[in-house]
């Protein structure tokens, strides 16, 4: 089974979750982790399971404006950005995604720890867009939590590996 994990990450948390998901999948299948700007049709060719993850911004998927705001915030607080942070976002990538033709997919996000009604969940929008492009979403969209200092919350990396095991 060939699995491709596509992610958008600004502060590195979603990138870390994507890597942990790959670790879980690689116990039983072949998974590769690809930033959204490298997720070309050639990379997705022959994929059996597409896993897509991104950060939650203002209750949903990032936009060009929310990515700019995150970059400004990182600069103001001297926080490093993920090396792939300046690429296009998932919203744009998903808009141009080729039809899945019934292939399997799953969605995850990273978001602040709090009620989903307050923080929002990008994973729901990702899953909806995957379905729109004729992918079969095989798991409920999942959220991995980030603390107020913008670090992955304790236990979330392990939970990402466990979630991945349920996708195979």
Specify the CATH number for the domain of residue 111.
Answer: 3.40.50.360
d(CA 89, CA 64): 7
pTM greater than 0.85 (yes/no)? yes
Q: Per-residue DSSP letters for 15-74?
A: HHHHHHHHHHHTTTSEEEEEEGGG--HHHHTT-SEEEEEEE-BTBBS--HHHHHHHHHHH
What pLDDT is attached to residue 60?
85
Among the listed residues 35, 90, 87, the one whose alpha carbon sits nearest the alpha carbon of residue 62 = 90
Structural domain harbouring 80: 2-167
Burial of 19 (0-12, 13-18, 19+ CB in 10 A): middle
Number of domains the chain contains: 1
pLDDT beyond 90 at 65: no
């Amino acid at each position: 089974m060939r699995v491709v994990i596509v992610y958008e990450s600004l502060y590195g948390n979603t990138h870390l979750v994507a890597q942990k998901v790959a670790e879980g999948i690689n116990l039983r299948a072949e998974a590769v982790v690809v930033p959204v700007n490298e997720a070309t049709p050639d990379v997705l060719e022959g994929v059996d399971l597409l896993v897509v993850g991104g950060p939650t911004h203002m209750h949903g998927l990032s936009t060009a404006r929310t990515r700019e705001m995150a970059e400004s915030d990182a600069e103001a607080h001297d926080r490093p950005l993920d090396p792939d942070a300046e690429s296009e976002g998932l919203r744009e990538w998903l808009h141009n995604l080729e039809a899945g033709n019934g292939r399997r997919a799953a969605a995850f996000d990273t978001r602040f720890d709090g009620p989903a009604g307050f923080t929002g969940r990008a994973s729901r929008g990702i899953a909806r867009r995957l379905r729109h492009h004729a992918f079969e979403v095989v798991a409920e969209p999942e959220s991995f939590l980030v603390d107020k200092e913008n670090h992955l919350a304790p236990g979330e990396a392990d939970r990402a590996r466990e979630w991945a095991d349920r996708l195979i």
